[in-house]
């Protein structure tokens, strides 16, 4: 039988494409002598015909890029897709805001204890925790507005 037909049969039996069928060059004549599907099965068992390993996509470039990104490269303005708000972690931004507001409240208590007493330190503190204020400015306004 012709070699291309042997390869086709072997591909069917090995459940791979014709390109992945390897016939040992030193035993080509043995492969040509095969007449039936059973003969080809025998050649596969004798390792005359083998399955080539699958060619996978190389990850070398991807690993190189990942290494650069780990170092903090490739994050310039041209690489950004989302807005600043969407790229920032929501919890981190919330924590930053809350901490700033609490610092502001402490400073206000140092500067003007009467104003803070008028609105109630604990109440304002809880409101900060409850996300009542947008930012430091609003905390200041609330406290100073309450003393009048």
User: 118 pLDDT exceeds 50?
Assistant: yes
Two tokens, residue 39: 């003969």
Could you give phi then psi for residue 59, rounded to 5 degrees? -100, 10
102: number of Cβ within 10 Å? 16
Q: What is the pLDDT of residue 145?
A: 87
| DSSP string for 72-104 | T-S-SGGG--S-HHHHS-HHHHHHHHHHHHHHH
Q: Measured at the alpha carbon of residue 100, what is the angle toward residues 95 and 103, in degrees to the nearest 5?
A: 125
Which among 27, 37, 29 is positioned nearest to 6, based on CA atoms?
A: 37
Locate the domains of the chain by residue range. 3-51, 86-146
Does the domain at 86-146 match CATH 3.40.250.10? Answer given as no
Long-range contacts at 91-96 (CB < 8 A, ≥ 24 apart) = 94/131
Indicate the average pLDDT of the chain. Answer: 94
Q: What is the CATH number of domain 3-51?
A: 1.10.1650.10
Kindly state the average pLDDT of the residues 33-60: 95
Question: What pLDDT is attached to residue 10?
Answer: 96
């Amino acid at each position: 039988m012709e070699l291309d037909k042997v390869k086709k049969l072997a591909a069917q039996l090995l459940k791979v494409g014709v390109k992945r069928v390897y016939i040992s060059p030193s035993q080509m004549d043995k492969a040509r002598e095969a007449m039936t599907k059973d003969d080809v099965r025998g050649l596969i068992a004798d390792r005359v015909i083998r399955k080539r390993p699958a060619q996978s996509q190389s990850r070398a470039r991807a690993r190189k890029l990942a290494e650069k990104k780990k170092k903090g490269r490739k994050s310039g303005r041209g690489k950004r897709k989302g807005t600043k708000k969407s790229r920032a972690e929501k919890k981190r931004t919330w924590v930053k805001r809350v901490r700033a507001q609490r610092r502001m409240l402490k400073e206000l208590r140092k500067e003007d204890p009467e104003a803070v007493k008028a609105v109630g330190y604990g109440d304002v503190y809880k409101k900060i925790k409850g996300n009542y204020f947008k930012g430091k400015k609003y905390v200041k306004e609330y406290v100073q507005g309450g003393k009048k």
